[in-house]
Structure 1
Amino acid sequence: MELALVAAIAFLAGFVQGLSGFGSALVAMPLLLQFLPARLATPFCILMGLVITSMLSLDLKQHLDWKKIGPIFLGCLPGIALGTYFLKTVDNSVIKKLLGLILISYSLFQLTVHVKPKKLSWVWGIIAGFLTGTIGAAFSAGGPPTIIYTSLNDWNKDEIKATLSGFFLLTGILIAIAHAAAGITTKEVLILFATGLLPVIIGTKLGSRAYSYLSHRSYLKLIYSLLLVMGLLLEFQ
């Protein structure tokens, strides 16, 4: 029964990220934690994410621009170090609720007021990456700064999704290596991964197919709606 649930969740997570370019963990983690401990659910989600982001990066390879991804990734590295320090010293619950409030406010603003995208300096990419690394390492909710940065740029939807996929692929590889080195990726995790592999591939393919029918504006609305859900989860968990 548990393995059937794992397969269903993997499919759903793949579909959501195939459609939006992010959000697989947003879908999968709350569901997996209903019947799996975090020590299994977390590395399983990381491995699923690697499959999804690899597929999306290949699908969108003609839109991958490492000049766009580079500043975000470089900013992320020192952010991870600072976030690890915060994890040990800061009250997580207060910061999570503050982040949740910011995401709710920002998402509602973007969903109700049309803000014209513009070309942002690469410096903002470094700042977004730094915040992503810091928040991700400290509170496991690091995606929003990078998602917001890409959505504010004057890029088309394929460039936004490709940049997110390439960035999350690089960070996912680093985390997966760290998990393996620390012995977190156990035989139990690999069994879960084998169970979810085909469903997550199918889900990602179907999500990508659905994505192809979205207009640029509809895609941005999807991004802001998922950010709103993230904010609500952080605020009321």
Structure 2
Amino acid sequence: MDLISSNIFLIVLFSSFIQSITGFGFAVVGTPLLLFFMEPKQVVSLMVFGALILNLMVIYKTRGKSDPKVIWPMFIASLIGIVPGVYILKVVDASNLKLCIGILILLVSLFMASNYVMTIKREKLATVLVGIVSGFMGGATSLSGPPVALFLMNQQQDKEAFRANLVRYFCLGNIATLLVMYFMETMELGVLRQGLYAIPGVLLGVWVGEKAFAKVSPKLFKWITLGVIFFCGTISVTSELIKR
């Protein structure tokens, strides 16, 4: 195993550990680290491939604990949001957009950390709107996860339901992304050879994460989740400020 393969294994292991606990964070944690020694196209292919395997594993372990009435409307709405998200890149500077969204994510996560809860009377409508926002942010900046995570936290779902809903939402997104990449011929198939080193990292990360998840208290779970969201916003803001 060479140095790059070893780094892939360790990064995927850590990212899988985080996502198996919180239900998200695999790409948020892994992508910026992998970009230090891999091309962006390779990183995207590897992350989507690894995330799909991880999410399928966690879906199996969380069977019967999700709410399809939340997941499917949100996912379908996210497909609608992707189109304007991709389009806005043509009329708005992507760097400024990512910076503004990163700052917004940081502010919202700080509000959530102060135990602020927004009362939502029309939850079904809110679910659709969150899906559209998630798709929009995914299409414009690749940051589709924070809106969904923050919404589910605001609804005060217990850690089991929170994780089960998130992994199913992202698994559907992984499948849709792979299909789009395949038909648009943007998938880096050569990286799948290095992906062989990612699979043990995913398996070990999920196994350790499952052990940790069972011992994590609801309070600690909340802080870990908010920490991942805050990290996502920080990376987004910092990466754009460095470019200026």
Q: TM-score range by the shorter chain?
A: over 0.9
Number of the residue aligned with 1:168: 170
Matched, 1:145 2:153: no
TM-score, structure 2 as length reference: 0.92
Of 164-173 and 80-89, deviating more is: 80-89
Shift of 1:183: 2.6
Q: Distance in 1 between matches of 2:52 and 2:85?
A: 22
C-alpha RMSD of matched pairs (Å): 1.7
Distance 1:103 1:46 in 2: 23
Structure 1: stretches of 5+ with no match in the other structure? none
How do 1:118-197 and structure 2 match up within 5 A?
121-197=123-199
Alignment coverage as a number of residue pairs = 237
Alpha-carbon offset, residue 136 of structure 1? 0.3
Q: Which moved more, 1:23-32 or 1:110-119?
A: 110-119
Q: Structure 1 CA distance, aligned partners of 2:47 and 2:172?
A: 15
Q: How does 1:6-25 map to 2 (within 5 A)?
A: 6-25=8-27
1:48 to 47, 50, 69: 50
Equivalent in the alignment of 1:93: 95
Query: Following TM superposition, where does structure 1 have runs of at least 4 consecutive aligned residues deviating by more than 3 angstroms?
Result: 113-120
Separation of aligned partners in 2, 1:186 and 1:118: 42
Instruction: Indicate if the aligned counterparts of 1:117 and 1:151 stay in contact, CA closer than 8 A.
Output: no
Cα 1:47–1:198 change in 2 (3 A) is: same
Letter in 2 for 1:146: V
Identity %: 25
Of the structure 1 ranges 39-48 and 190-199, higher mean CA displacement relative to structure 2 is found in 190-199
Instruction: Give the deviation of 1:116 after TM superposition.
Output: 8.1
**Amino acid in structure 2 at the alignment position of 1:145:** P
* 2:74 matched residue in structure 1: 72
- Contact 1:15 1:206 survives alignment (8 Å): yes
Q: Which consecutive residues of structure 2, in runs of 5 or more, have no partner in the other structure?
A: 240-244
Q: Report how far residue 180 of structure 1 moved.
A: 2.1
Match of 2:36 in 1: 34
117-126 vs 150-159, greater mean Cα deviation: 117-126
